[in-house]
């Protein structure tokens, strides 16, 4: 008997773009893909943070480069993707949150969140797919969404709106691009401990709410997202498209 072999998680020879790569989940995902052998273009708005990331990658023998980019600037986004060979993997970790109750939400905050979380994500996906289709190559597009794309949350009406939109967008794009071998999925984390979320964890009331909702005995760390990113980027997930990978410690289980 010849046993089946596990599909490779190896990304050697692949080119990946990671947006929002300068910190937090994006930085972790950039590291995960580089550690699996990919050449990673690390994109974000903060040049100094990107330089620190790419220096650290090179120090560990990994392949990466920095790209200063605001993905909400569609002209710059198109130029960045059109000026490169088609990427094999595009992972979007850029995002924005402005939390307030629905009755206190301003049109300016609503537009700012939707501009980054939905509009930019939509056209990043479209530009990435255009390049893959033109090159006649398959690829994987991954968005860091949220458990809040599947449930509601305190003072998160706008954020939930944007992430529910991303989940619908991904399903439609998966249907459209599947025949071209292009897969698109989301990763939906629970609250992950980063510099941006630390204030939430420092709030005793909010921390108690989080620990009451999750089923595992700790909050998530960036490393908890890295394996999911590698799985969806690699051939190990060759039959996975149009779906959400929940990394939510059971938040949405009930």
How wide is the angle at C-alpha 49 spanned by C-alphas 45 and 54, nearest 5°? 110
- pLDDT for 84 equals 63
- Catalytic, out of 87, 159, 177, 231: 159
- Give the pLDDT mean for 83-95: 91
What is the overall mean pLDDT for the chain? 96
- Give the pLDDT mean for 96-108: 95
The C-alpha atoms of residue 173 and residue 132 are separated, in whole angstroms, by: 14
Does the pLDDT of residue 195 top 90, yes or no? no
- Give the pLDDT mean for 80-100: 90
CATH superfamily of the domain spanning 15-246: NAD(P)-binding Rossmann-like Domain (3.40.50.720)
Residues of the chain above pLDDT 70, percent: 99
* Residues 197-231: tens digit of each pLDDT: 898 899 999 999 999 999 999 999 999 999 999 99
122 is catalytic: no
DSSP assignment of the chain equals -PPP-PPP---TT-EEEEESTTSHHHHHHHHHHHHTT-EEEEEES-HHHHHHHHHHHHHTT-EEEEEE--TT-HHHHHHHHHTSPPPSEEEE-------B-GGG--HHHHHHHHIIIIIIHHHHHHHHHHHHHHHT--EEEEEE--GGGTS--TTBHHHHHHHHHHHHHHHHHHHHHGGGTEEEEEEEE--B-STTTHHHHHSHHHHHHHHHH-SSSS-B-THHHHHHHHHHHSGGGTT--S-EEEESTTGGG-
Does the pLDDT of residue 83 top 80, yes or no? no
Place of tokens 């992972």: 91
- pLDDT for 97 equals 93
Place of tokens 């986004």: 77
- Residue spans of the domains in the chain: they are 15-246
Residues of the chain above pLDDT 90, percent: 91
- Give the pLDDT mean for 101-105: 95
* Residues 172-187: tens digit of each pLDDT: 999 999 999 999 999 9
The b/e string for 222-241 (b: 16+ C-beta within 10 A; e otherwise) is bebbbebbbbbbbeebeeeb
């Amino acid at each position: 008997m010849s046993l089946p072999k596990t599909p490779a998680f190896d990304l050697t020879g692949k080119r990946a773009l990671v947006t929002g790569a300068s910190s937090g989940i994006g930085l972790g995902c950039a590291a995960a893909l580089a550690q699996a052998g990919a050449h990673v273009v690390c994109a974000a708005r903060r040049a100094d943070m990107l330089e620190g990331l790419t220096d650290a990658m090179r120090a560990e023998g990994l392949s990466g480069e920095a790209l200063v980019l605001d993905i909400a600037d569609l002209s710059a986004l198109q130029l960045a993707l059109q000026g490169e060979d088609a990427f094999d993997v595009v992972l979007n970790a850029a995002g924005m949150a402005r939390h307030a109750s629905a009755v206190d939400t301003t049109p300016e905050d609503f537009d700012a969140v939707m501009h980054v979380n939905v509009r930019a994500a939509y056209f990043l996906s479209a530009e990435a797919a255009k390049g893959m289709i033109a090159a006649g190559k398959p690829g994987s597009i991954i968005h860091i969404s949220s458990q809040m794309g599947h449930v509601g949350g305190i003072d998160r009406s706008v954020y939930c709106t944007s992430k529910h939109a991303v989940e619908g967008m991904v399903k439609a794009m998966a249907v459209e691009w599947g025949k071209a071998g292009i897969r698109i999925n989301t990763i939906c984390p629970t609250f992950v401990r980063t510099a941006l979320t630390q204030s939430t964890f420092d709030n005793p009331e909010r921390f108690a709410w989080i620990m009451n909702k999750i089923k595992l005995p700790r909050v998530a760390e960036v490393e908890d997202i890295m394996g999911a990113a590698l799985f969806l980027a690699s051939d190990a997930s060759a039959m996975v498209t149009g779906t959400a990978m929940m990394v939510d410690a059971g938040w949405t289980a009930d």
